[in-house]
Amino acid sequence: MELYNYLKSLHLIFVITWFAGLFYIVRLFVYQIEAAAKPSPEREILQKQFKIMAYRLWYIITWPSGILASVFAFWMLLGTDLGQVWLREPWMHVKLAFVFLLYLYHLKCHQIFKQLQNDEVKYTTNFMRLWNEGATIILFAVVFLVVLKSAVNWIYGVVGIVLFSILIMLGFRFYKRIREKNQS
């Protein structure tokens, strides 16, 4: 049990830093896209700085955190008796499905990161702001699953995630209107 608690602690630390990196990298994507629309020489100065910031965040914090969070999770699940018990629980299967979505989200962020490092702007700032909420939805789903475990009512859980997503979309639209009003 002591090993499990150490693994769990390390897993949680790296999950937190992984999410911090995912949240901030998309914010940097927004800044990089905005910088691409600036006139020269401001564009080149900002792009250079944002590329450095994104590179350091991505390869020094986000990728290592994601890998270490996964290593400690797999060790916890496959290398301890309690982990073996959790693997038989339905809530863990749902959680692992959300973790799989998180891996896909991370890989898509990596693709966007590479594009922006090569000065390829394929998305709008509005798309990036909305994209940033994907990690938030996954985070909420995973935390509630882990805390509530089998006590969660799946119907309420699904309805809750849908309502939460709708609230995020409404908040995004509200914030977009405020931004547009302030730019006028």
Q: Is 149 annotated as a binding residue?
A: no
CA distances from 182 to 132, 176, 179 (A): 22, 10, 5
Structure tokens at 140: 């909420």
Between CA 8 and CA 77 the distance in angstroms is 10
Angle at 60 between CA 126 and CA 44, to 5 degrees: 50
Q: Is 95 annotated as a binding residue?
A: yes
Nearest-CA neighbor of 10 among 97, 70, 98? 70
Distance of CA 21 to the CA centre of its chain: 8
Nearest-CA neighbor of 54 among 129, 135, 109? 109
**What residues form the annotated binding site?**
11, 95
**What residues form the annotated binding site for heme?**
11, 95
